[in-house]
Amino acid sequence: MTTLMQAFPVFMLIFCRVTSFFVVAPLISSRNVPNNFKIGLASFVAILIYLSYGTNQSVAFDGGYILLIVREVLIGLMLGYIAYLIITAIQTAGAIMDIQIGFGMATVFDPTTGAVTPLTGNFKYMIAMLLFLAMNGHHRLLDAIVYSYNWVPLDNELFARIYDGSVSEFVLKSLAASFLVAFQMAAPIMVSLFLTDVGLGFLAKTAPQFNIFVIGIPIKIIVGLILLLMLMPSLTYIFDHLFSLMAESMQGLLGTIGSRPK
């Protein structure tokens, strides 16, 4: 009983970090994934982490234990949020392309997030999730949460790092990196459709009898779909770079709130 009372607080802290990570992590946090599966997976991972890391740890089960739970939940949420923030660059790029192509009014309901998403962004997101599984991206997520205890142990200084502004600075840098990748993904179609608009503008000046508003929309849709089809083979390299950036961002967050293991 004494051993159980010593092990239970440590296991609960590990379980809180793992569960909060799975709540917001990409792919695993999808609404299509049953909650029973999420809880079971979190429990299984927490048991493995405890057996490999937590058996020699001890935590005081007193009034300050609530703060320890809050701290572990925040670590898991931030780690999963950084991963999700990088992945949302796909939908951001899709929204930018939809505005240029003319699909901005044709949004669809995404059952995985429960929100309305752009048409092209939702299409690319589904392809990205398939490639994410094919490239063992889920292994990167599990590695991040499992090896996070080597970077950020249970006796970490998260609140001090939040107070000095280092965590906020890193989140803002990650947000800027996500937007940068989104614009890089959408740049070829944006430039091509801008040149299409320039051509339609010259056509409106040289042949005023043409109704540019009527013929311009289908022309931009056709050009956008052709360009999207031509760029499909390059999505593998783009998403591979995106997934590597996701792993680097999670590692950077762990380095911000913790320290690199020796």
Is the pLDDT confidence value at 210 over 80? no
Whether 185 is covered by a domain: the verdict is yes
Under a CB-based contact definition with an 8 Å cutoff, are residues 100 and 192 in contact? no
The pLDDT value given to residue 19: 92
Is the pLDDT confidence value at 104 over 60? yes
H or E stretch at 116:
strand 115-117
What average pLDDT does the segment 251-262 reach?
A: 82
Q: What are phi and psi of 149, to 5 degrees?
A: -75, -20
The pLDDT value given to residue 8: 82
Burial of 257 (0-12, 13-18, 19+ CB in 10 A): buried
Mean pLDDT across the chain, nearest whole number?
A: 83
Whether 150 is covered by a domain: the verdict is yes
Whether 157 is covered by a domain: the verdict is yes
Output the six-digit token pair for 28.
């695993």
Dist CA 185 CA 183 (whole Å) = 5
Whether 48 is covered by a domain: the verdict is no
Whether 107 is covered by a domain: the verdict is yes
The pLDDT value given to residue 157: 80
Judge if pTM exceeds 0.75: yes
Dist CA 145 CA 248 (whole Å) = 14
What range does the domain containing 208 cover? Answer: 78-257
- Between 64 and 117, the more confident residue is 64
Whether 143 is covered by a domain: the verdict is yes
Domain count, the chain: 1
Whether 127 is covered by a domain: the verdict is yes
Nearest to 172 by CA among 94, 82, 257: 82
Whether 32 is covered by a domain: the verdict is no
Contacts of 80 (CB under 8 A, 6+ apart): 20, 21, 22, 23, 24, 25, 29
pLDDT tens string 23-73: 888 888 877 778 888 888 888 999 888 888 877 777 777 778 888 888 889
